Amino acid sequence: MTIRRLAVSRSTNLDARGAAPYTVFAADRQTAGRGRLDHKWHATPGANLTFSVVLPAHPDPAENATLTLLLGVAVAEALGPDFLVKWPNDVYVQDRKICGILCERDGENVIAGIGINVNETGFPPELASAATSLKLLRGHEVDKEAVLRAVLERIESLHAEWLETGFQPFMSRFAARDFLLGRAVHVLQTDSDPAPLSGLARGVQADGAILIGQIPVYSGEVRWRKGLS
C-alpha cells in the first residue's frame, strides 16, 4: 500500500475521495474526524493513528455490507488475542473502545476510515470510563508506525481473501472475537431513539446483520449493559 502522510487534515476520508485503490491517507491531526451517526472522534494530535484506506469494493453489492466487520477482524487480529469486534464498527479490549471504523462508498471503491487509540492518555470525562489506548494497556509508549504496518498488512491480506470468497468463511473468526455475543443489549437507530430494540445478542450473520433475539438488525447503535449475559 502507498501511504500519504499529512500533518493536518480536515478528514482523511475526504482526502481519500477519488484516490487509487490501496492508497492510505494518514494524518497526525484531524480537525473534523467523525464516526458513525456523525459522532466526533476524539484524538490528541500526534498521539494516535487516524487514517483512511482506499479498497476495491466487492463485485457482489450485497457483500459490501460486511466489509466493516471484516476490517474489525483485521484490526483486532493485528492488535492481539484479547481484542474483540463490536458490531458494527468498533474494536474493544477490556470492555473499552480502542478503535472505530467508518466505511464510505466512493465509486468502485470503499474508503475505510480507521482511528486507533495508540498513545492517548487524556480522554475527556465522558469517554474516560469507556475508552482506552495501547499505551494505557501496556504501560509504555507504543510505536505507532509498527502498529500501522501490522494493521495494513492484515487488512490487505483479509481483504484479498474477502474479494474471492465473501464474508461467509470469516464468520467463525468473527464469532471468536464477537464482543456482543451473549450480552443483553439495546439497539438505537438514533442517539435519542424513544423505542430501542432490546434483547440478547446472538451473533452476526453472513449478510452482516446481528441477531437480537430472533430479529436480524442491519444498522443501528448498540448499547450494552455490563454484568449481564
Please, what is the angle between helix 144-165 and helix 67-79, to 10°?
140
Shared-domain flag, residues 20 and 79: yes
| Sequential pLDDT tens for the chain (229 residues) | 999 999 999 999 999 999 999 999 999 988 865 554 445 555 677 889 999 999 999 999 999 999 999 999 999 999 999 999 999 999 999 999 999 999 999 999 999 999 999 999 988 888 878 999 999 999 999 999 999 999 999 999 999 999 999 999 999 999 999 999 999 999 987 777 777 899 999 999 999 999 999 999 999 889 886 544 3
88 prior amide bond cis, ω within 30: yes
- Is residue 229 included in any domain, yes or no? no
What lies within 8 Å, CB to CB, of 30 at 6+ separation is: 8, 9, 10, 11, 12, 41, 43, 50
Residue 157 grid coordinates: 491480506
3-state secondary structure of 102: strand
Are residue 54 and residue 156 in the same domain, yes or no?
yes
Please give the pLDDT value at position 37. Answer: 45
Q: What is the residue range of 54's domain?
A: 2-176
Is there a single domain that holds both residue 102 and residue 205? no
Q: Are residues 12 and 75 in the same domain?
A: yes
Provide the pLDDT for residue 107: 96
Judge if 118 and 197 occupy the same domain: no
Asked if 170 and 189 sit in the same domain, the reply is no
Query: Do 172 and 73 fall into the same domain?
Result: yes
| pLDDT at residue 139 in the model | 95
Q: So what's the pLDDT on residue 30?
A: 82
Residue 151 lies in a domain: yes
| Residue 164 and residue 188 in one domain | no
pLDDT of residue 42: 57
- The residue among 145, 160, 176 that closes a domain is 176
The total number of structural domains that make up the chain:
2
C-alpha 142: how far from its chain's center? 20
Same domain for 138 and 71: yes
C-alpha cell at 7: 500533518
